[in-house]
């Protein structure tokens, strides 16, 4: 379960990093722009998007926090996937709890980024989160074949 949680967390983290790096490059910016923006806001008091300077401090600080959060989410998701193999009712409760927690984590990111809303649209944070969660879920379903079976049986019974 520990390994699955760590791998799921790294997968989610990597999906968000690749999403924003690609988005930044497509806009003619440094691939590290969003990390510098959010790191500057969270750790250095940045309030003006025009004042963003891409340098190691905010980029590493934000990526470190981002990785730790995703590792935690991955561990919780792996635990829920393991527990959910014991019945359809358990996976439903687990999915509900995970969704509730993730909505609050996303809300924290949007709250920190409020002064920077012009540079970080809400839709991009939502899309990056959905892509990351989807990738994590696919990985966890792959490594938990019993959970796949439970979901199939639940679907057939419904």
pTM score over 0.75: yes
Confidence of residue 70 (pLDDT cuts 50, 70, 90): very high
CB 2 within 8 A of CB 52: no
Report the pLDDT value the prediction gives residue 81, as an integer from 0 to 100. Answer: 87
CB 47 within 8 A of CB 115: yes
Residue ranges of the domains in the chain? Answer: 2-157
Report the pLDDT value the prediction gives residue 9, as an integer from 0 to 100. Answer: 96
Query: Residue 127 and residue 67: Cα distance in Å, rounded?
Result: 18
When pLDDT is averaged across residues 68-96 and rounded to a whole number, the result is 83
Report the pLDDT value the prediction gives residue 51, as an integer from 0 to 100. Answer: 85
Check whether 118 has a pLDDT greater than 70: yes
């Amino acid at each position: 379960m520990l390994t699955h949680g760590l791998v799921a967390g790294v997968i989610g983290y990597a999906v968000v990093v690749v999403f924003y790096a690609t988005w930044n490059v497509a806009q003619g910016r440094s691939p590290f722009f969003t990390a510098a923006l959010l790191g500057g806001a969270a750790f250095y008091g940045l309030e003006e998007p025009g004042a963003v300077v891409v340098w190691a401090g905010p980029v590493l600080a934000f990526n470190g926090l981002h990785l730790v959060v995703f590792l935690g989410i991955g561990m919780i998701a792996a635990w829920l996937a393991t527990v959910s193999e014991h019945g359809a009712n358990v996976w439903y409760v687990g999915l509900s709890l995970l969704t509730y927690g993730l909505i609050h984590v996303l809300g924290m990111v949007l709250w920190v980024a409020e002064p920077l809303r012009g540079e970080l649209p809400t839709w991009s944070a939502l899309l990056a989160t959905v892509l990351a969660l989807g990738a994590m879920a696919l990985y966890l379903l792959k490594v938990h074949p019993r959970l796949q079976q439970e979901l199939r049986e639940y679907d057939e019974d419904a």
